[in-house]
Structure 1
Amino acid sequence: MDCNIDMVMVGGRHPINVRYDVGFKSDGKITALNLRVLFNSGISKDFIENIKKYNWCNLSFDIKLCKTNLTSKSSMWAPGGVQGSFVAEAIIEHVASVLFLETNTVRRKNLHSYESLILFYDFVNEEAKNYTLPTIFDKLTATLDYKNRAETVRKFNCTNKWKKRGISSVPIVYMVHCYPVPGGVSIFNDASIAVEVGGIELGQGLWTKVKQMTAFCLEKLCENESLLERVRIIQTDTLSMLQGGKLEGAAHQNRAVLACDILIGRLIPLKHSLQEENGAVSWVSLISKAVQHSINLSASSFFVPSLNNARYLNYGAATSEVKIDILSGETTILRSDISYDCGQN
């Protein structure tokens, strides 16, 4: 389902009412934040996230989830995350305006250090070198291109009365939960590959990621061949795929890897014997021989995250430039640059 349709169906994201007291130094460094939040969660309990993405030094908050007779907004991708990020950015921009400082200067000064990150997120066990948010943010904001665009925006606003432009850079620290999920990979007689996925595709790219990971793993069995076009995703139900789990994290890709490893273990001896006889072995010929030798070409797996990777943090930042018609309220996104740390091979 298209994300915009999803937004219309459930009436947008949760409304929030926020009051805060913030302490800061003249250079923009924030030293204390006290939040009082009312969060309209609708008919079911929900949550708010991403407030801790900045180093507030001293943080206290009173967040109340108010259950009402409105629809729940939980079907939104990253429910509660956008609201929390909006609150954090509103505070940063408020501090910058009071001090007459450039907003990105205040943002950069209050990004977490590795030491403060592990205080605010006590489950973090990654190495300091893997905390890449400051580098990501600098790549977007410390470039000549960004400075030229910001100057262009300023000149446009000086010469236009009813249309205005804005440019803003926003960092993100997003906590991901990993859940146990089952999965299965099957190879058919025609050498096509089917993957059973417990989660649903709602625009977050789940099927694409699983297809890519499956093809990447099984390509170890063939020489310079791409298997991506041979992979298809089978949408399952709770009868064929028990304990399907949720959509967060890399769990669905991991369970595809586990199933592929099982298949590789079965097929690699056959591949080696065929290579000794004929040299290079194509994917189609390998699977054809596997069928003749009655090798099981279907594998099931159940991925269970360890305590160390059940939760982890994602880092990213985006710079967006928009144009607003003050008379009609029409907003146009002119350009968005997104930088995201997707890990290492």
Structure 2
Amino acid sequence: MSDNASKVIDTKDPGELLAPTPGLSGGIRSASKHDSGPKHVAGEAVYVDDILEPFGTLHLAPGAATVAHGRITKMDLSKVRSAPGVVCVLTADDVPGVNDVSPAHTHDDPVLPDGIVQFYGQPVFCVAAETREQARNAVKLAEIEYEELPAILSVKEALEKQQFVAPPHVMAQGDAKSALVRAKHRRSGAMEIGGQDHFYLEGQITFAIPQEDGDVLLHCSTQHPSEVQHNIANVLGRPANAVTVEVRRMGGGFGGKETQASQWAALAAIVAVKTGRPAKMRLDRDDDMVMTGKRHDFIVEYDVGFDDDGRICGLDIQYAANCGFSADLSAAICDRAMFHTDNAYFLGDVEIRSYRCKTNLVSNTAFRGFGGPQGMVAIERIIDEIAMTIGRDPLDVRIANYYGTTDRNTTPYHMTVEDNVLAELTNDILASCDYRKRREEIDAFNAQSPVIKRGISITPVKFGISFTTTFLNQAGALIHIYQDGSVHLNHGGTEMGQGLFIKVAQVVAEEFQIDLDRIKITATNTGKVPNTSATAASSGADMNGMAARDAAITIKSRLIAFAAEKYGVVEAAVRFVPGRVIIGGVTELEFADLVKQAYLARVSLSATGYYATPKIHYDRETASGRPFYYFAYGMACSEVMIDTLTGEYKVTRVDISHDVGRSLNPAIDRGQIEGGFIQGMGWLTSEELWWDDAGRLRTHAPSTYKIPACSDRPEDFRLELWSSGRNVEKTIHRSKAVGEPPLMLAISVHRAIADAIASVGDYKVIPMLNAPATPEAVLNAVANVAKGMIAQSHDAIPAAGE
């Protein structure tokens, strides 16, 4: 805990600082470069696999199951154990403690299965050898036989058989059923939303170094060091203080390293403790894609009622998520999909149901947006369907359904929306992207172009910021100032390339009024800051920035008290300015000189900081409360061109206006928005996961799984940080989270493709376009729209395939 008793109360709202502090290099608001950026470019950034290996390091390789569901009847590993270089082979019997690494202690995520295999590719044993090649070769020598059991490989089958990893959940407001009956217009439909592989550049990896007394140090690529620490302690049958986890940087995470780093860390730790030798577990790309979870794929069914203006009067919507074989974080992920069913829209009378389906596939897990994107894709599809039904521009229907004031500002989970900026954002992007004129030009183009069709769509983003599991909304930090005035900074957040470390360092630099190069950014370490939350939920800068500022203010208040006493002035007369401290308007010292004097006077120059997000609360039993501290907003206008003969498409222009509040670092925020948008575009267009009838993932390498390439970027990409942005809540310097929200801006691309397809039927047939909108899916939708023209009637607008 920070030393609040000795702290100077800071009454100034730091958010009032609108521009970088003159004379300060690297404070907040400045576009400081990523602290690892030059190292990334030069190849000098040290990741786990770059750490020099001590003599005797062992290398691990997992042995995978070859059935989707089965009982192991024979496992002969004698040839594996006698293979060249093999030092030890692990099975479930070799787990010294609890054979479980589930994040919520549901005891359904074994380190290695004890008799029952639950998905094709599940690790059933692990080899440790002198070299990685020897370990991988030895794995192939295993002789394993199975009694195959019935396998559930689809959401539909899981629903039919009522197989769930967690109980279904319902969220409701008003009376949806009655509202649907009263509605003038009513439509129902269904949508399939595919999953997504994280495809981080650095795969799952842990390097375990044995310590004395059976302890272990883990260099692990994880977003949640404390969870890895606690899980591995349980696996080893040791207290948490026997395990130290350190993370300097990750080569990408996107949620895939929030929970699922634990299994690989556990195997490395067991080998290190068992053999007394360093042990490294590094999955190759194919194994990583086969053995680790992904974004949940969903089936969504909906029934919506609306009036002549397209305003939603009632909505009944059901989600069925493919959770895989275990619970992992599926309950919270599916909850967040429900939370974001509204996106930017007041739904009034609504009922939302969610089914968390158990299948014999890899256990799906956190992915950027954490379920929110699936809910938002569904409602945007519904809005477009409403617009086509009543013959109005989809943008006008969106605006008609926006959250407003007084009686139109309550979410389905009974939270009041207090920071709504949707109208202002929409007006600004309309002025900058010229949507209305471009819509007319596109309609004219499509009318005379029989093969190439263009489409355009504007979609909003309203994304809740906070962990919906309330206790996770806390963070800690540690700051030391050394005698020469240099600063050592540590906190519980992890760096996965998103720029968290540089942002927090800028916060500290601002507080002490010192240049950024005086601050040493250090690796996240459970031995320095304990009991940390995952770097997830877009809350990294919000929470760790506040915790670091808290620690800095504690030390700063001590320095102020010391200077005031030494020089005989009141504390208010001690001011920190860039690189210096002015005392009483007369004495002026270099920051380092004041620090040295304070040290000689025995003033503590070290402090911890702590932050807990205020205001939030949620009662899951009643599905009501305030799960989010605030909302992040954004708008995107995407224009596409499709070839109706091949299904190929190209994104030709994108305009984005995104609200980051008062940006801590505009350069980092722009990078996050651009990257998030492209990743979202990949999810909704090209990234298709496919399992065969045996439950084998066939899209398990770059050759079969297509993430966006440089050539897929929009030809014309225009991005603005919304100039009017300001967080109404007292976040760190009034900034807003920017990690996850930009991904959902890419929904505009999916809806623009659907808009282009709809033009084939003169906007009279609704294209039932699922996600991802691969060229095959687009071509199929074009064909269905053409067929649907035959089914037109004066009473209703048909959906393709109806």
Coarse TM-score class (shorter-chain normalised) = 0.7 to 0.9
SS in 1 for 2:589: coil
> Which residue of the partner structure matches residue 257 of structure 1?
549
1:206-263 superposed Cα distances (whole Å, 9 cap, x missing partner): 32332232222222xxxxxx53333343222323321111333322122112111101
Matched, 1:175 2:464: yes
> What is the one-letter code of the residue matched to 2:314?
A
SS in 1 for 2:522: strand
Matched, 1:187 2:494: no
From the superposition, tell whether residues 27 and 277 of structure 1 become closer, same or farther in structure 2 (CA, over 3 Å).
Answer: closer
> Which residue of the partner structure matches residue 222 of structure 1?
none
From the superposition, tell whether residues 80 and 279 of structure 1 become closer, same or farther in structure 2 (CA, over 3 Å).
Answer: same
Tell me if structure 2 keeps the 8 A contact 1:201–1:207. Answer: yes
In the alignment, the residues of structure 1 paired with residue 655 and residue 293 of structure 2 have an alpha-carbon distance, to the nearest angstrom, of: 25
SS in 2 for 1:104: helix
Tell me if structure 2 keeps the 8 A contact 1:317–1:339. Answer: yes
In the alignment, the residues of structure 2 paired with residue 200 and residue 230 of structure 1 have an alpha-carbon distance, to the nearest angstrom, of: 21
> Which residue of the partner structure matches residue 28 of structure 1?
310
Tell me if structure 2 keeps the 8 A contact 1:198–1:235. Answer: no
SS in 2 for 1:168: strand
From the superposition, tell whether residues 288 and 35 of structure 1 become closer, same or farther in structure 2 (CA, over 3 Å).
Answer: same
In the alignment, the residues of structure 2 paired with residue 183 and residue 321 of structure 1 have an alpha-carbon distance, to the nearest angstrom, of: 41
In the alignment, the residues of structure 1 paired with residue 383 and residue 636 of structure 2 have an alpha-carbon distance, to the nearest angstrom, of: 16
Matched, 1:122 2:122: no
Match of 1:99 among 384, 390, 410: 390
Matched, 1:84 2:375: yes
Matched, 1:244 2:532: yes
Greater displacement, 135-144 / 108-117: 135-144
- Identity across the alignment (%): 24
What TM-score do the two structures reach when normalised by structure 2?
0.38
> Which residue of the partner structure matches residue 198 of structure 1?
492
Q: Please state how far the C-alpha of 1:142 moved relative to its aligned partner.
A: 5.3
Match of 1:16 among 285, 298, 304: 298
1:14-40 superposed Cα distances (whole Å, 9 cap, x missing partner): 211111111111111110111122111
1:100-139 superposed Cα distances (whole Å, 9 cap, x missing partner): 1111110111011233333534344x7x4x3323322332
> What is the one-letter code of the residue matched to 1:281?
L
Tell me if structure 1 keeps the 8 A contact 2:312–2:347. Answer: yes
Matched, 1:283 2:577: no
> Which residue of the partner structure matches residue 507 of structure 2?
213
Q: Give me the CA root mean square deviation.
A: 3.1
> Which residue of the partner structure matches residue 321 of structure 1?
638
1:15-67 superposed Cα distances (whole Å, 9 cap, x missing partner): 11111111111111110111122111223224124102321221012211112
In the alignment, the residues of structure 1 paired with residue 306 and residue 465 of structure 2 have an alpha-carbon distance, to the nearest angstrom, of: 30
Q: Please state how far the C-alpha of 1:330 moved relative to its aligned partner.
A: 5.0
From the superposition, tell whether residues 288 and 257 of structure 1 become closer, same or farther in structure 2 (CA, over 3 Å).
Answer: same
In the alignment, the residues of structure 2 paired with residue 119 and residue 197 of structure 1 have an alpha-carbon distance, to the nearest angstrom, of: 34
Match of 1:67 among 358, 364, 376: 358
> Which residue of the partner structure matches residue 235 of structure 1?
523
Larger radius of gyration: 2
In the alignment, the residues of structure 2 paired with residue 155 and residue 318 of structure 1 have an alpha-carbon distance, to the nearest angstrom, of: 25
> What is the one-letter code of the residue matched to 1:195?
L
Bigger RCO (CA 8 Å, 6+ sep) = 1
1:271-294 superposed Cα distances (whole Å, 9 cap, x missing partner): 553634963333333334334434
Tell me if structure 1 keeps the 8 A contact 2:346–2:410. Answer: no
From the superposition, tell whether residues 325 and 231 of structure 1 become closer, same or farther in structure 2 (CA, over 3 Å).
Answer: farther
In the alignment, the residues of structure 1 paired with residue 591 and residue 455 of structure 2 have an alpha-carbon distance, to the nearest angstrom, of: 52
From the superposition, tell whether residues 333 and 275 of structure 1 become closer, same or farther in structure 2 (CA, over 3 Å).
Answer: farther
SS in 2 for 1:120: coil
Tell me if structure 2 keeps the 8 A contact 1:167–1:319. Answer: no
Matched, 1:268 2:560: yes
1:294-335 superposed Cα distances (whole Å, 9 cap, x missing partner): 432211023233445873231312213243453363544633
> Which residue of the partner structure matches residue 50 of structure 1?
340
Instruction: Point out where structure 2 has 5 or more consecutive residues left out of the alignment.
Output: 1-46, 48-196, 201-252, 255-284, 468-472, 568-581, 618-626, 662-726, 729-733, 735-802
Instruction: Point out where structure 1 has 5 or more consecutive residues left out of the alignment.
Output: 220-225
Q: Pairwise mapping of residues 330-345 of structure 1 onto structure 2 (< 5 A)?
A: 330-332=649-651, 334-340=653-659, 342=661, 343-344=727-728, 345=734
In the alignment, the residues of structure 2 paired with residue 232 and residue 160 of structure 1 have an alpha-carbon distance, to the nearest angstrom, of: 59
SS in 1 for 2:385: helix
Tell me if structure 1 keeps the 8 A contact 2:425–2:635. Answer: no
Q: Please state how far the C-alpha of 1:3 moved relative to its aligned partner.
A: 6.2
In the alignment, the residues of structure 2 paired with residue 338 and residue 4 of structure 1 have an alpha-carbon distance, to the nearest angstrom, of: 27
> What is the one-letter code of the residue matched to 1:146?
Y
Tell me if structure 2 keeps the 8 A contact 1:170–1:318. Answer: yes
In the alignment, the residues of structure 1 paired with residue 585 and residue 396 of structure 2 have an alpha-carbon distance, to the nearest angstrom, of: 65
Tell me if structure 1 keeps the 8 A contact 2:458–2:638. Answer: no
In the alignment, the residues of structure 2 paired with residue 283 and residue 185 of structure 1 have an alpha-carbon distance, to the nearest angstrom, of: 16
In the alignment, the residues of structure 1 paired with residue 321 and residue 453 of structure 2 have an alpha-carbon distance, to the nearest angstrom, of: 32
> Which residue of the partner structure matches residue 135 of structure 1?
424
> Which residue of the partner structure matches residue 115 of structure 2?
none
What TM-score do the two structures reach when normalised by structure 1?
0.83
> Which residue of the partner structure matches residue 262 of structure 2?
none
From the superposition, tell whether residues 199 and 331 of structure 1 become closer, same or farther in structure 2 (CA, over 3 Å).
Answer: farther
> Which residue of the partner structure matches residue 42 of structure 2?
none
> Which residue of the partner structure matches residue 223 of structure 1?
none
From the superposition, tell whether residues 282 and 146 of structure 1 become closer, same or farther in structure 2 (CA, over 3 Å).
Answer: farther
From the superposition, tell whether residues 70 and 329 of structure 1 become closer, same or farther in structure 2 (CA, over 3 Å).
Answer: farther
